[in-house]
Amino acid sequence: MASDIQTLESAVVRFAGDSGDGMQLTGSQFTTSTALAGSDLATFPDFPAEIRAPVGTTFGVSAFQINFGARSIKTVGDQPDVLVAMNPAALKTNIANLRAGGLLVVDSGAFTKRNLQKAGFETNPLGTPMLDNYQVIDLDISKMTLEAVKEFGLGNKEALRCKNMWTLGLMLWMFSRNRAPVVDWLNGKFAKKPEIAQSNIAALNAGHAFGETAELSAHIKRYQIGANKTEAGLYRTVTGSQALSWGIAAGGELAGLDIMLGSYPITPASPILHTLSGMKELGVTTFQAEDEIAAICAAIGASYAGALGVTSSSGPGIALKTEALGLAISTELPLVVINSQRGGPSTGLPTKTEQSDLYQAIYGRNGDAPLPVVATRSPGDCFEAAIEACRLAVKYMTPVMLLTDGFIANAAEPWKLPDIDALEPFTVDFAATPAEGESFNPFKRDDKTLARNWGIPGVKGTEHRIGGIEKSYDTGHISYDPDNHQKMTDTRFAKIDNIADDIPPQTIEQGDDTGTLVVVGWGSTYGPISEAVKAARAEGLNVSHMHIRYLNPFPRNLESVLRGFDKVLVPEMNAGQLKTVLRDKFLIDAKPLNQVSGLPFKIEDILSAIRAEVSS
Amino acid sequence: MNQMTAPNEKLTIKDFTSDQEVRWCPGCGDYAILKCMQRTLPELGVTRENTVFVSGIGCSSRFPYYMDTYGFHTIHGRAPAVATGVKLANPELDVWMITGDGDGLSIGGNHLMHVLRRDVDINILLFNNKIYGLTKGQYSPTSDVGTRSPSTPQGSVDPSLNPIIFALGSGARFVARTVDTALKHMPGVFTRAHGFTGAAFVEILQNCIVYNDATWAGVTEKSVVADKQLLLEHGEKMLFGAEGNKGIRFNADTFALEVVVVGEGGITEDDVLTHDESNLQLARMLAELGGNPSEPMAMGVLYAEQAEVAYTDAVIGQVEAVKGKRSLKDIIYSGQTWEVK
């Protein structure tokens, strides 16, 4: 009955279970239903590095968090309002973060002696004071799922796999969402195994029907979260990896070049390789190389031959590409290098997010080797950021580092579909056959951009030899001349510095243009910083939010904007890298706020730091 | 790479010679290889603009600077990957890769293995002088055991690698060998490599006059050539020697090739093997020849068996098969969407 439905502005739901419980699928289907209902949302798939960790263990817990609302949603939410725990290990690892008074849904059928033991519980926590702070719905979801799918004759193991759909059905009922998109998706996914599709749909319906029954709704509320009033247009949900891949393809089209991606599998960057591999219709060639070095080298070779070379990896892979990056800088060839950052150093935390490769991006090469660095801030933003990386690469004949991270790569958000036809082209002109009597100089530069001539094989008269050895400024031939090396080094810096005149000036995202405190962020901390500044301003604090997309070179006015504030606070998911760069460039007393837990910032943590900074 | 458009006028050795001063040591074997290449390309009817030389690092890798074609002097060991990218971006190009024993088999061993395995349609010339020349004479992966060098003052202890066996083991479909001083033999091998669609691997025995002089003398000295080199020709008997009466026979007891003398011990020419370039097992045994001093080294094309579809054609084929069937808009606008009014 509609009168029983409570309207909320937003809610945070976290699905947690064993790696094999299908929590990522449950979460992404809940996301689709939420998106189709028009709510704004942000998601956070939080999964272990192991593909199938031992069943029931705490390190095998996979979770998916979604924050959704009838308002603008910029983070995944500090604390879940609802936690779904499919086994004791999921309860153990997630309960501490559930909001006091929040709703806990557990599959009591999975709380067996063995599972409790694996999770490190001495006694069953269900029904004990340990859970007194929460509203608990403990249901034998396992048993009810088996019952629901009995007629399809699946084995016990296969039948139990449907319990995530049973749970999803219950949650869709609880949040008054439509089941139809999930049913469509199941029918599509299991088109060749109709009995599996039918079983899952039956489980989904059974979970939903269970919610409808009186005994549950007596003490558990149903919620309604409306549509977010946002800009008119056609929307879809998009992950960072998708939007970034599409942006690369768009960049290729706008440049009038075919994309050649060289890549090697690595978490969390692989989805970009997968997505672009499925886009051959656009003339995209993908090359899964034998290693990270070959991946970038093939991309460089492709750029030499007139395509737009792209390579995609994560920190450890970028480290391997370093020498070749220097080659691309020295030969001044366009290249887009994507780093989906993860926790480091070394193998670090492959599936967890961090933004600790900023030094690597800006400085991490032998020799004086400058290149532009652009960072994405959210899944949808990846589209434009990738196009911008392509534009800079071809216009300035340079490799461009495009920084994203594991959180952005996997997270989803609603995205207003861009008007593809309205995107501004930046068509490339290759060097033409020189006039009779004239010779071709590959290092002849554009007066304004300082970009060199791009002559490509296949064109008569522009034959030339290039390489990693220093080249004469005047002819492009090998040169070991001391003055020439100084001049070429200066020119390489000047060329990259020029880009500062070709990017938007730095603006303030939120708050006044001058004042007491500016909170400066880059990359995926955009959401939590934005919400924290909003909350601080609601408390009457004099604070503004600045977000830097262009990390090298910085926008020309960045220093003057920073100097408009008494204090500068830089929250980062690293040990203080942008903070150091700002201090170095501008001698500004930027204060760090650092977190390297592998998790996004909580709004509350940034808010506390803002309060402390303003009052100190 | 046999789809080149014929140039309007016949090019000459001069057209393929760049204006850059050649900077190899006087007497280096690389000079002869360079000249052979500059002389062979006009014969092949290729154009300068469609020809690309890609190299790694080392003495041999300076090669591209001296060819008046497109050239890319890359980084140590990575030429196979760069060349693969060039070919994938423009399959019409005629790509030659120049490498050495250190560049190709040590730091770039992984890439060389994969470019051969994939059968990328390029020509690979590996200059084997069994030493690191450009870094002043350290031993290389093809150095003989006991090689004294700055890094092995008491002699090297690690066994050496046979490039031909490496190439065959990597799945190469064209494998040949020639010698830097064999000015008549080398162009023929280059021509065959060029005519092959797929990865064509050529080992060139090359002399480093400064750091490893005469390392191949036992095979290449005029006085021993006849006895120490087996010049392979497809369909021809494997005969060699100053008298032309030595032959290669398969010994079923040892399961190996052996040297026999026609006319001695009842051996007739019928006992001598006939070369078959398409026989992989034979190629593997020929690759081993020369391992002991009584045997000659096999020269020429040891193995040539073109794949039905070259790697690059297969990759490009997958793109061409679907190109244009969906637009970027089709892709982005697909899936579940909703309208906000």
Residue B192 confidence (pLDDT) above 50: yes
Chain B nearest CA to A434, separation (Å): 13
The interaxial angle of helices A180-189 and A163-174, nearest 10 deg, is: 160
* Average pLDDT of the residues in B220-227: 95
Q: Decide if B144 touches A, using CB distance below 8 A.
A: no
Between CA B318 and CA A428, with CA A259 as vertex, the angle to 5 degrees is 135
- C-alpha to C-alpha distance for A403 and A523, rounded to whole angstroms: 8
Chain A nearest CA to B232, separation (Å): 34
Quote the tokens at residue B197.
């669609």
CB contact under 8 Å between B339 and A234, yes or no, is: yes
In this complex, the residue of B67, B89, B315 whose CB is nearest that of residue A305 is B89
Buried b (16+ CB within 10 A) or exposed e, A120-135: ebeeebbeeeebeebe
Q: What's the pLDDT tens digit per position in A366-382?
A: 999 999 999 999 999 99
Alpha-carbon dihedral angle through residues A366, A371, A377, A383, given to the nearest 10 degrees = -120
ipTM for this model: 0.96
pLDDT at A2: 39
Q: Decide if B92 touches A, using CB distance below 8 A.
A: yes
In chain B, what residues touch A227 (CB-CB under 8 Å)? Answer: 340
Size of interface A-B (CB pairs under 8 A): 215
Comparing alpha-carbon positions, the chain B residue that sits nearest to A298 is: B85
Comparing alpha-carbon positions, the chain A residue that sits nearest to B326 is: A281
pLDDT at B310: 87
- C-alpha to C-alpha distance for A24 and A31, rounded to whole angstroms: 10
In chain B, what residues touch A413 (CB-CB under 8 Å)? Answer: none
Chain B nearest CA to A272, separation (Å): 15
CB contact under 8 Å between B89 and A302, yes or no, is: yes
- Annotated domain spans of chain B: 13-215+308-315
Comparing alpha-carbon positions, the chain A residue that sits nearest to B329 is: A420
Comparing alpha-carbon positions, the chain B residue that sits nearest to A309 is: B85
User: What does DSSP say about strands A465-467 and B70-73: parallel, antiparallel, or unpaired?
Assistant: parallel
CB contact under 8 Å between B323 and A477, yes or no, is: no
Q: Report residues of chain A scoring pLDDT below 70.
A: 1-3, 214-219
In this complex, the residue of B71, B74, B335 whose CB is nearest that of residue A468 is B74
* Cβ-contact B150, B136 below 8 angstroms: yes
CB contact under 8 Å between A294 and B89, yes or no, is: no
* Cβ-contact A376, A244 below 8 angstroms: yes
How crowded is residue A136: how many other Cβ atoms within 10 Å of its Cβ? 15
CB contact under 8 Å between B331 and A281, yes or no, is: yes
For the whole model, what pTM was predicted?
0.94
pLDDT at A212: 85
In chain A, what residues touch B74 (CB-CB under 8 Å)? Answer: 297, 300, 327, 467-468
CB contact under 8 Å between A465 and B20, yes or no, is: yes
- C-alpha to C-alpha distance for A329 and A312, rounded to whole angstroms: 17
Place of tokens 């990359």: A523
Chain B nearest CA to A478, separation (Å): 9
In this complex, the residue of B72, B80, B322 whose CB is nearest that of residue A466 is B72
Comparing alpha-carbon positions, the chain A residue that sits nearest to B341 is: A232
Chain A nearest CA to B315, separation (Å): 8
pLDDT at A47: 86
C-alpha closest to that of A26 among A39, A16, A35, A36: A16
CB contact under 8 Å between B326 and A282, yes or no, is: yes
Comparing alpha-carbon positions, the chain B residue that sits nearest to A292 is: B81
CB interface of B with A, residues 280-319, below 8 Å: 315-316, 318-319
Chain A nearest CA to B258, separation (Å): 38
Quote the tokens at residue A323.
């020498």
How crowded is residue A505: how many other Cβ atoms within 10 Å of its Cβ? 11
CB contact under 8 Å between B75 and A297, yes or no, is: yes
- C-alpha to C-alpha distance for A62 and A47, rounded to whole angstroms: 4
* Cβ-contact A66, A97 below 8 angstroms: no
pLDDT at A68: 96
Q: Decide if B114 touches A, using CB distance below 8 A.
A: yes
Chain B nearest CA to A52, separation (Å): 29
Q: Decide if B90 touches A, using CB distance below 8 A.
A: yes
Buried b (16+ CB within 10 A) or exposed e, B83-110: bbbbbbbbbebbbbbbbbbbbbbbbbbb
Chain B nearest CA to A610, separation (Å): 35
- C-alpha to C-alpha distance for A168 and A21, rounded to whole angstroms: 12
Helix, strand, coil share (%) of chain A residues, nearest 5: 40, 20, 35
Residue B338 confidence (pLDDT) above 60: yes
* Cβ-contact A372, A396 below 8 angstroms: yes
Q: How confident is the model at residue B1 (pLDDT cuts 50, 70, 90)?
A: very low
Q: Decide if B80 touches A, using CB distance below 8 A.
A: yes
Instruction: Give the E-state strand segments of A302-433 in sequence order.
Output: 308-313, 335-341, 373-375, 399-405, 412-416
Could you tell me which CATH class the domain B13-215+308-315 is placed in? alpha beta
